[in-house]
Amino acid sequence: MGSALGSVAGAVAGTSPATPVAAPAAAGGTPMDPALPMPWRSQPGRPFIDYGLPSPHEGQAVRRTGLNFRHVDGNGAAWTPLERLEGSLTPNGLHFVRNHNGTPEIDPAHHRLQVHGMVRQPLSFDIEALQRYPLRSQQIFLECGGNSSQGWAEEPVQRPASLVHGLLSCSEWTGVPLALLLDEAGIDPRAAWVIATGADAGALHMSLPIAKARDDCLVALFQNGERLRPENGYPVRLIVPGWKGVMSVKWLASLQLADQPAMGRNETARYTEPLPAGPARQFSFVMEVKSLITTPSHGHSLAGPGFHEIRGLAWSGRGRIRRVEVSSDGGVQWTEAVLQAPVQPRCLTRFRAAWQWDGRPCVLKSRAIDETGAVQPTREALIAERGSRGTYHYNAIVAWDVDAHGYLSHTHD
């Protein structure tokens, strides 16, 4: 309502090189005061350090944490601050964490990965042995199956975007293709599942179909070029591209081949959902097409009418993002956003759109379409299909209400 959307490229192209440029004082900014003290211009800087750290002036870009149960410190989550990041990759220290029983401190010299069960020859690997295998690197998003679950609530939850949608991150993972290890062990033709188990005290185990295990899964040793961190699975974790995050078992210790799934807690009491027609969804693996405007979003306040860039993320567990559309009138009209290259399969894709706000109230939305043709649904369509008692796999369009003062809040409209 009362605002115009366009491509960022178009907005830039419309600016003449001969246009006079004022002092660097963008909306809300002020010209530089030459009287301000700037000792860094005349004094030597600090010495080298062993591991680089963020600037102390950037203390807002941190994860927020929450517990599932009071007084149980190890069962909860840490959310990635999506609205404070740019690009498509997540720094290792800001990758989301979902733990059921804390982060174990594993001595890699004592850790072994066992491949056993319905195989010709059981195998055992230490970390050094795994690193001798051919490695593969792949940029992959991980998303908790319960990410965005507050979207099922009848009233829109008024929290920052990251505290609703921040169980989502994207990294370059490097490791051994799981198919290599399974083929070396020799798969019994009767085996249909790989049951992956972690080495933590919670002993999380998940059942993975053989076809997926041999397709694109990794036994990961590195994240964004460095060794895994303990909270993200050190010394070795499973990476299952495009599927719900719980499948990517951390602190991987066992791969048992079997002719049927384990039917453990996280395949029965959890990660299953009743449907309106009666039966429950079970073994719903793929994270469906989804997008989110991260800037501006809940809690942001626009400096005033004029040009603003809408930025966000899109992703799909089924492949590449083909298109993202943005609306500033609640979904009546849609404009195609610019996708930032490279657009990779099962990876976060950054999108941008130019927006001229006229100062009147409006509603911002984004919707993504992936290469299979799947379209991100409206909230109404998702509830009609799956009911309103959901917990997992919420991928409906997210809407931000902009009031006349430029303040943004969450809305279901």
300 and 276 fall within a common domain: no
Residue segments in the chain with a per-residue pLDDT below the cut of 50: 1-2, 7-27
In a domain, 155, yes or no: yes
Is position 374 within any domain? yes
Per-residue model confidence (pLDDT) at position 12: 39
- What pLDDT score does 29 carry? 62
pLDDT at 28: 52
Closest listed residue to residue 146, CA positions, set 165, 133, 124: 165
Q: Does the residue 4 lie in any domain? A: no
Exposure string for 61-95, b = 16+ CB within 10 A, e = fewer: eebeeeeeeeeeebebbbbbbbbbbeebbbebebb
In a domain, 237, yes or no: yes
User: Does 239 map to a domain?
Assistant: yes
Domain that holds residue 405: 290-411
Say if residue 267 is in the same domain as residue 372: no
Indicate the number of domains in the chain: 2
Residues 266 and 148 in one domain: yes
Closest CA to 251 of 77, 112, 67, 91: 112
- Alpha-carbon gap, residue 75 to 98, rounded angstroms: 8
Specify whether 297 is located in the same domain as 255.
Answer: no
Whole-number average pLDDT of the chain: 91
Q: Which residue among 261, 281, 301 closes a domain? A: 281
Calculated CA dihedral for residues 328, 334, 340, 344, nearest 10 degrees: 130
Instruction: Kindly state whether residues 374 and 240 are assigned to the same domain.
Output: no
Q: Is residue 264 located within the same domain as residue 200? A: yes
Query: Tell me, what CATH number does 351's domain have?
Result: 2.60.40.650
Q: Are residues 114 and 190 in the same domain?
A: yes
Q: Is residue 38 part of a domain?
A: no
Residues 167 and 140 occupy one common structural domain: yes
Which CATH number goes with the domain that contains 133? 3.90.420.10
- Do 134 and 227 lie in one domain? The reply is yes
Q: Are residues 124 and 168 in the same domain?
A: yes
Q: Which of 237, 262, 281 corresponds to the end of one domain?
A: 281
Residues 274 and 296 in one domain: no
Q: Is residue 61 part of a domain?
A: no
- How many helices (H) does the chain have, and how many strands (E)? 6, 25
Q: What integer pLDDT is reported at residue 18 of this predicted model?
A: 33
- With CA atoms as reference, report the closest residue to 74 among 97, 99, 105: 99
Say how far apart CA 384 and CA 397 lie, in whole Å: 14
Choosing from 214, 247, 281, the residue where a domain stops is 281
Looking at residue 25, its pLDDT comes to: 41
CA–CA gap between residue 19 and residue 73 (Å, rounded) = 57
- With 0-12 / 13-18 / 19 or more C-beta atoms within 10 angstroms meaning exposed / middle / buried, residue 404 is exposed
- Do 176 and 252 lie in a common domain? yes
Is 234 within the bounds of a domain?
yes
